Amino acid sequence: MIRPAYAESSLELNRHIVNLLDSLSAIHGLTEISLGDADKPRLIKQALKALISNQDMERCSIFLLDEDGMLSNAAGLDWDNMLSGICSLSEDTTLRHPSKNHFRLGDGIMGRAAESGNIEHCPSCAENPQFKRLGIEGRPVEGALLCVPITCESKVLGVLNVFYPTPGFFNLWHERLLLLFCKILGRMLVNHQLTHHLNTLVEFKTTELTDTNKALNARVDEMHTAAAVFESMNEAVLVTDQHNRIIAANSAFTDITGYTPDDVKGKNPRLLSSGTQSPELYRKMWDTLASTGRWSGEIKNRRKSGELYIGWFSISLVRDEQGQPARYVAVFSDISERKASEEHIYHLAHHDALTGLPNRTLFNDRLQQGLLKAKRDKTRLALMFLDVNKFKSVNDVLGHAVGDLLLKEVAKRIQDCLRESDSAARIGGDEFVVLLSNIETTRDAMNVAEKISNAFNRPFEPAGYTLQISSSIGIAVYPEHGEDDETLMKNADMAMYHVKEGEDSNVKLYQPGIPD
C-alpha cells in the first residue's frame, strides 16, 4: 500500500498526536457504552459519537451488512451525501439496490474493505481516478479516506468510513487504533445481539414458565376439587391401573366394604369377590368394557367382615393418548337393603301371607313355564288340587286363629312331601294346588298324592288342640288330561270334587267323562 509523505511541521505533528489521543479516547468511550441500555441503532450512534471528538473527524459513517449481503447505512452525520459520491460505482456497474446508502460487497473502496476484511486506504481522493471527478460542483475531492472493516472473530459485520479533509493524513497508528476500535465495536455488536437473543429467550421462557405455572396452579386447583369430590361422594369409588391393580379408593369404599385404601392398594379387586357369581358374568363384563368402555350391573361381593352385600356397579375404561387401557374406574353403591325390600315386596305380591306359599298369580306363572318346558322336553307334568275336609267346622267351632294355625301346618306337611323342583300354592281359604314337574308316569303323581294324603292321617295340633282331618286330592296330567293351564286346572278341580262326593278314596286321577 502506498504511504504519503507526512508533514514535518510541528503544527501537523501536534494534530496527529491530538488525533491519535482522540482515537484512544474513542476506544475508551466505546468500552463505556452499556449493552443493556441501548438498542442496536442507538448503540451504533453512541459508538460513532465516541469516535467524533473534533470537527475534523466528524465526517464518519458506519455501514452494516444486512441479511441480503448489502452494506446499508446504519449511522452517520452529514457524511452520507459526500460518501455516496465517493463510493459510487463505475458507470458500467448496476446497483442491486440503487440507493446512495446501499452497496454490494466488492463494489467501491468500502465494498472491497467489507469483502476482503482488510483496511482500504485512499491517501488522496483528488489523485485517485475513482474519486477525481466526484467532488462537489466539479471541484476535486480533497482529503483522505479510511474504510476499516468491523469484525468479530474474522467475520465482517460492516465498515467504518472515516474521511479527513487533509490528504495523506492517516498513518499506521490511525489504522491500528481504528482497527482496534472496529474490533471492539464488532464484539459489542455480537454481544448486543447475543444479549438481545438471551433477553428475548429469557422473556419468552419467563412468559412460558408463568403460563405453565398458571396452568399448573389451575391443574392443582382442579385436582383439589376432584379430590374433594372423590372423598365426599356417597358412592364408593375404586380406581385400578391397566393391570387391574387397585391404586385409589375413597372413604365411601371403606364404609361399604370395611377395607381401607391401604388394605387394598396394589391388590386385585377379586379380593372383594363373594365366590357366588358365575364366571360368565365377569367374562361378559370384560367383553363389554373392551368393546364399549362402560359396563353397569349388579355384583354380589363380600365385606371384610365376611358379610355378603349386593352392589350396583358402573365401571368405566379410561384410555391413554395411544388408545390403550390406562385406568378402570368403578363407582358402586350398596343396594342390599333396596334389594331386600324389593324382594320382600315381590314376596308379598306373589306369596300367601299366612302360609308363605306362592299365591295364585305366582303359581299360574310357574304352571305356564312348566308347560312350556314339558312341551319342549316332551315330558309329563302333573297338577293337583287339594281341599282340607271339614275346615269350615274348625273355623266355626275353634275360631279363625286356630284355623289359620291349622292351614300353616297343612302347608308345611304338603311341602315336606315334595321335591325341590315341585311347587305348592294356596289359592283359596282351604284350597291348595301342587305342581309336579318332569314325571314319567301317572303313577308317579298318584304316589305323591297318596304320600300327602297319608301325611294328613297324623293328628294336627294347632294351639294345643288335637284335630283329625283329611284331604281331598284331584290330579290331572299333561298331556293326557290337557295341554294348557286352564284345561289342566279345570280337570284337576273336577277330579277333586269327585273325591269329595265319593267315600272310596281321598285321591282321584282325572278320567274323561267325569261329570262337571
Nearest to 310 by CA among 278, 280, 335: 335
What CATH number is given to the structural domain containing 314? 3.30.450.20
Q: Quick one: pLDDT at residue 195?
A: 82
Rounded to an integer, what distance in angstroms lies between the CA atom of residue 387 and that of residue 443? 21
Percent of the chain as helix, strand, coil, to the nearest 5: 45, 25, 30
Question: Based on the number of CB atoms within 10 Å of its own CB, is 438 exposed (0-12), middle (13-18) or buried (19 or more)?
Answer: middle
Tell me whether residue 223 is in a domain: no
Domain extent, residue 241, equals 233-336
- Edge-to-edge strand list for the sheet holding 507-509: 423-426, 431-439, 380-388, 471-478, 507-509
**Same domain as 62, residue 174:** yes
**Same domain as 192, residue 54:** yes
What does the chain come to in residues?
516
What CATH number is given to the structural domain containing 365? 3.30.70.270
**DSSP secondary structure code for residue 358 in this structure:** B
**Same domain as 326, residue 386:** no
Residues 6+ apart with CB under 8 A from 314: 294, 295, 296, 330, 331, 332
Task: Decide if 244 contacts 328 (C-beta within 8 A).
Answer: yes
Q: Quick one: pLDDT at residue 16?
A: 55
Mean pLDDT for each consecutive 10-residue tract of the chain (516 residues)? 45 56 58 63 79 63 88 67 44 38 82 92 81 57 87 91 85 86 88 84 88 86 76 86 93 93 93 92 94 94 94 93 92 90 86 92 94 94 94 92 94 94 93 94 94 94 92 94 94 91 83 71
Tell me whether residue 202 is in a domain: no
Q: Quick one: pLDDT at residue 50?
A: 74
**Same domain as 109, residue 69:** yes
**Same domain as 158, residue 31:** yes
Tell me whether residue 210 is in a domain: no
**Same domain as 439, residue 322:** no
pTM: 0.49
Rounded to an integer, what distance in angstroms lies between the CA atom of residue 371 and that of residue 484? 7
Tell me whether residue 405 is in a domain: yes
- Indicate the helix (H) or strand (E) that contains 38: none
Tell me whether residue 398 is in a domain: yes
**Same domain as 118, residue 47:** yes
Task: Decide if 445 contacts 439 (C-beta within 8 A).
Answer: yes
**Same domain as 243, residue 181:** no
**Same domain as 358, residue 332:** no
Tell me whether residue 346 is in a domain: no
**Same domain as 355, residue 323:** no
Domain end among 153, 177, 197:
197
**DSSP secondary structure code for residue 417 in this structure:** T
Q: Quick one: pLDDT at residue 120?
A: 92
Domain end among 170, 197, 224:
197
Nearest to 176 by CA among 184, 168, 166, 165: 184
Neighbours of 49 (CB within 10 A): 17
The phi and psi torsions of 130 (rounded to 5 degrees) equal -65, -35
Task: Decide if 320 contacts 307 (C-beta within 8 A).
Answer: no
**Same domain as 328, residue 420:** no
Residues 6+ apart with CB under 8 A from 440: 379, 380
Tell me whether residue 48 is in a domain: yes
What CATH number is given to the structural domain containing 164? 3.30.450.40
**Same domain as 493, residue 364:** yes
Nearest to 27 by CA among 169, 148, 145, 180: 180
Q: How far is CA 40 from the centre of its chain?
A: 48
Number of domains in the chain: 3
Tell me whether residue 430 is in a domain: yes
